[in-house]
Amino acid sequence: MNQAERLIIFDTTLRDGEQSPGASMTKEEKLRIAIALERMRVNVIEAGFPAASSGDYEAVRAVAEGVRESRVCALARAREADIDRAAVAIESAAAGRIHTFLATSPIHMQMKLKMEPQAVLEQAVWAVRHARRYCDDIEFSPEDAGRSEPDFLCRVLEAVIKAGATTVNIPDTVGYSVPEQFGALIADLRARVPNSDQAVWSVHCHNDLGLAVANSLAAVMSGARQVECTINGLGERAGNAALEELVMAVRTRQDFFPCDTSINAREIVPTSKLVANITGFAVQPNKAIVGVNAFAHESGIHQDGVLKMRETYEIMRAEDVGWGTNRMVLGKHSGRNAFRSRCQALGIGFATEAQLNEAFARFKDLADKKHEIFDEDLQALASEASAALVNERIRLISFRCCSETGERPFAEITLVLGEEERRASSSGDGPVDAAFKAIDSVVQSGTELLLYSVNNITTGSDAQGEVTVRLDKAGRVVNGQGSDTDIVLASAKAYINALNKLEQADLRTHPQIALL
C-alpha cells in the first residue's frame, strides 16, 4: 500500500489503557501484551509514560528490547526531563518514536498550564526540536485539540511540523466531538496548515459519548492516516476507540474507505482475551467483534438465513477475527516440550528453567482437574504464575469451605503472612463471602470491595472459572485475578492477589490526569 492507502494502527493499551482505575499491569504483563500486538502486526505500540514512575520506565524499556517488528513509542510531556527519560527508555528499540504533547485549548492553557498562547507555541516547538536530537520519528499532540481555537491550533501545528514532527495527532481528549464536526475539523486543519503534507495526520478519540470509533472513522475519511486506539476500547473514563472495531469497520467496508490496515485480524480475539485476562476488565457479551455473542444468532429467522447463506445476517466471518482459531488443545499426557512450544506461540516466555518448571507443574495440576486445556487456560495460568512470582507476601496454603442447604456457609483458610503461618475461619452469607471474611480476619486489610465478577475461561462443566476482584483502599484501586475449576477457590485466589497488589508500592505514581 502507498501512503494514502495505508492506515497506521497506533495502539495505546499499555499507556492510555492502563489509566483505567485498577488496570495497572506489571512489566512482564505489558511485555506479553506487546508481543501479542506485534504478532497482530500493530504498527506502533505506545508502551508507556517513562517519566511517570520507575515502573513505567522499566516497562517501556522491556517492550523496546522485546519487540522487533512494531515501532515502540514513549509518551513525554513537553518538558526536558520527560523527553530525555523517554529517549533512554526506547534507545534499544529496533524502531522508536517519542510522542510529546502540550495542551492548546483556552481552558487548559489558562487553568492548568497557566501559560499564554505564545509561550505554549514556543514550548511545543522547543519540545519537538529537543526530541529530534534523539529520534527522527516524533509525534506531537495538542492536548484537548477538539476544544482549541482553530486559528491558534493551525499556528501550532504548522510550527511543530516545521520543527520536525513527523506525525501530528489531534486528540478529542474529553470525548466532546461528534463525527461530522470532528471530520470537518481534520479536513479544515489539513487544508489550512501550509505544510500539512509533510506529516502523517493522526487522531486519538475518547469514548465519553460513545462516539470514539465513529469520530475516528470520520477523521479517516477526511485524510487522517493514523488512528490511536486500544484493545477492547480500554482506557481512561469511558475508554478509547476500540482497535478491533476500527480495523474491522475499515476492512469490511473497503467499498467506502480509501485505505486499509496491515493488521492480522485473526489475532484480534486471542489478544482481546489476553488483555481482559491480565487487566481483569471483562469483555461484555454483546461487544462488537470480540464479545461472545458477536456472532451468535438466537432468532429462528436469523438462524435459517445464516444456514442458507451466511451473508444474509453476517457481514464478516467469525474465524477471520480469531474465533475458533485459538484451539490448540493440551492434556495431562502432553509433555514439557509441547507445553513450552505452545506458550512461546502465545507470547508466554520463561526467564529461567525454574519458572518453566513451576508453570509446567501448575499445568499438570490443572490437567488433572479438566480433560482438555485450551490456549485461554494457558493465558490464565501464566497470569497466575506471574502474580505468584511478584506478589508473595500473602500466600494461600490450604482452603476448605462448607456450604449446605439450611446451614450458614463456613470457610477455613491457612495463609502465610510474611514469614508467619496463620489460620482463620469465618461464616458468611455465602461461601465466597465466608472465604473473604476468613482472609480479612488475618490480613486486616481495611479495603472496600468494589467489584466481584466471574467468567468462564472456556466452555464445559469442567471449565476454569476466572474471578476478578476490585478493591479500594484510601483511593487506590487494584484488580485481583484468580482462576480454578473450583469457583470459590478461584475467588479466594483473586482476593489474595488483589491484597498482594495493595502491599506493593504503586507502580503508577503519576496522577490520572487527562493525558490526551
The Cα–Cα gap between 332 and 340 comes to 14
Q: Which H helix or E strand runs over 426?
A: strand 420-427
Q: Which amino acid is it at 426?
A: S
Q: According to the annotation, is 204 in a ligand binding site?
A: yes
Residue 259 CB contacts under 8 Å (≥ 6 apart), including other chains: 1, 4, 5, 6, 7, 220, 225, 250
Q: At what angle do helices 179-192 and 212-221 cross, to 10 degrees?
A: 40
User: How far, in Å, CA of 142 to CA of 89, rounded?
Assistant: 23
462 assigned binding-site residue: no
16 is in an annotated binding site: yes
The DSSP call for residue 36 is H
What are 59's three cell numbers? 516497562
Instruction: Round to whole Å and give the CA distance between 329 and 311.
Output: 30
The Cα–Cα gap between 458 and 466 comes to 10
Gap between the Cα atoms of 206 and 150, Å rounded: 20
Any binding-site annotation on 240?
Answer: yes
Residue type, 458: T
Q: In this structure, are strands 394-402 and 410-417 parallel, antiparallel, or unpaired?
A: antiparallel
User: Measured between alpha carbons, how far is 276 from 269 in angstroms, rounded to an integer?
Assistant: 10
| CA pair distance 38, 56, nearest whole angstrom | 19
| Positions at the binding site for Mn(2+) | 16, 204, 206, 240
| Positions at the binding site | 16, 204, 206, 240
